[in-house]
Chains A and B, each alone.
Chain A
């Protein structure tokens, strides 16, 4: 019988520690599929963040180095400059990439560093217990916006991908989601393209993925998947934000 679906080679045989309905495990898996399909396992260096995905190195079977909160893009820059043959990716949450690491992210993009940032947007700080993130929606209740995020007090959800796209060094920026089989497939295509941009040495690539966090959103997995569709993606619209890669196509 023909085997049509199997564990990716670059995904370790470990049980995910993530909560039911969390997007991380799906994203890990499709990233590993891409790493396998592009035959990158032997030259990939990944940088996981502090946060729920700090243990990403327990799942990705590639070289990985822990980063301080928000500094992933700077660490990636150091690796890539020291060893340009490597394929370097950062895996960062919204607090990491769009709050404490805003400067690192924008300037790494602006320098056009040939690295790939995978940006997980779940609108909260997950591991610390569901505090307000820069991407928390207006009116959204979190442990530090108990009355709902109010723009005059807590500001507005930050559209980091659009900011990154404004830099000349960013060549490919897309926002996707992992709340349906279709969106998971689109996310995988975007991740694949982002890695291909790096292989082709074109510049900085970023994929923002809207990822459900049922635990901190106080929802069931099904409700959280629906919330991404009906509420979150209205503020963070899905689709290609910037693509100046020319004819580059992963397929």
Chain B
């Protein structure tokens, strides 16, 4: 199954009731899958909106009405959705937003890229807010993380972004779905369903009193701190004896893993640190590794964005190097292996026999 369709199937099995989208390459298989498989299901809806702006605002409406809903797009479309993401975050409305990112800036290219890291993790819209960002690196993880995204969104009343890329969306891999579609679709409490047997409800943030808005912001911050404590996740590969650790996320981590395996065969003591939640970033977990390992190589398919989080986490306690390919260029494992070999040579990290 291709990655985009896997997200669609996983979303339906997670009880997603509404999907709102707009065509853009390389994520089209997802809206197409939802049109075919969700749109005519009882109580469900698929809408091809007139723009990404409309799609995210339809999602906002569906979420206000208490159902699980999602949208997807690729980089330029995600830029348009930022207005809605800010409103979703402000009004504490759960939502799942998929970005199968492509080369930028501007119209860019349709090649796989990771250049939306800043946009995803720094909250590309206006105002103080955060979104949970999940970075899958296989088709299986696209499906698993889609399910997790819906759970997290509902648990913390927050928009969750799945940050993939064109390669993940298009590639085909065997996959196992771990959940069955629910028999009844649930409606979230405290949603807008008409003021029957209760007082009328308002979902809004606008206020003419800054003190009131400040308290809304602090309450969001407390939620974000809780998410940081409870939901930060990462993965490692051969880090215990590593003299050099490659830090990479998503598809880049998978490419790096191939390079690390080959480098290990040459005796180079290399490992991999892969953040799974890009926000909250696994900073403490990375710090622990810096107690033993003093050399880090950040590899990203961009000009260097996540490296800022790595530098913040390590705070000068280890040296941080960077290798990246922006614009939709995909590095090969052998290319990364060369970078690893060169760095090991420069830092006099001797291969072990």
Contacts and interface: CB of A to CB of B under 8 A. Distances in A.
A158 interface: no
B296 interface: no
A213 interface: no
A67 interface: yes
Given A54-B206, A66-B204, A75 B64 contact: yes
Contacts of A75: 57-58, 60-61, 64
Contacts of A82: 17-18, 45, 61-62, 65-67, 69
B209 interface: no
Given A42-B194, A71-B53, A74-B54, A61 B200 contact: yes
B17 to A, nearest CB: 6
Interface string B3-45: 0000000000000011010000000000000000000000001
A80 B58 CA distance: 9
Interface string A67-88: 1100100111111111101110
B41 to A, nearest CB: 12
A130 interface: no
Interface in B48-64: 49-51, 53-55, 57-64
B193 interface: yes
B151 interface: no
A74 B61 contact: yes
B292 interface: no
Given A79-B65, A104-B50, A63 B193 contact: yes
B57 A71 contact: yes
Contacts of B66: 82-83
A66 B206 CA distance: 8
Interface residues of B, number: 40
B58 A77 contact: yes
A83 B195 contact: no
Contacts of A50: 206
Interface in A45-62: 45, 47, 50, 54, 57, 60-62
A168 to B, nearest CB: 15
Given A42-B194, A71-B57, A64 B200 contact: yes
A2 to B, nearest CB: 29
Contact of B58 (A44, A78, A86): A78
Given A63-B200, A82-B17, A42 B195 contact: yes
Given A62-B200, A65-B192, A78 B53 contact: no
Contacts of A176: none
Interface residues of A, number: 37
B61 A77 contact: yes
A103 interface: yes
A43 interface: yes
A64 B63 CA distance: 13
A45 B194 CA distance: 6
A44 B192 CA distance: 9
A66 B57 CA distance: 11
A63 B55 CA distance: 22
Nearest to A83: B65
A92 interface: no
Given A57-B202, A78-B61, A103-B51, A43 B45 contact: no
Contacts of A54: 206
Interface in B187-211: 192-197, 200-206
Residue of B53, B57, B84 with most partner-chain A CB within 10 A = B57
- Interface-central residue, B87, B193, B197, by most chain A CB under 10 Å: B193
A247 to B, nearest CB: 28
A57 B204 contact: yes
Nearest to B55: A74
B194 A86 contact: yes
A186 interface: no
Given A77-B47, A78-B65, A107-B54, A68 B204 contact: no
B195 A81 contact: no
A77 B61 CA distance: 7
A205 interface: no
A248 to B, nearest CB: 23
Interface of A: 41-45, 47, 50, 54, 57, 60-68, 71, 74-83, 85-87, 103-104, 106-107, 111
Given A66-B202, A77-B61, A79-B192, 15 more contacts: A43-B194, A50-B206, A62-B194, A64-B204, A65-B204, A74-B53, A74-B54, A78-B59, A78-B61, A78-B69, A81-B45, A83-B67, A83-B193, A104-B54, A107-B50
30 contacts: A42-B194, A42-B197, A44-B194, A45-B65, A45-B194, A54-B206, A57-B202, A61-B200, A64-B202, A65-B203, A65-B204, A66-B203, A68-B83, A71-B54, A71-B83, A75-B61, A75-B64, A76-B61, A77-B47, A78-B59, A78-B61, A80-B61, A81-B45, A82-B17, A83-B67, A85-B194, A86-B65, A87-B194, A107-B49, A107-B50
A-B interface, 6 closest residue pairs, ranked by CB to CB distance from nearest = A78-B61, A66-B204, A78-B58, A74-B57, A81-B45, A43-B194
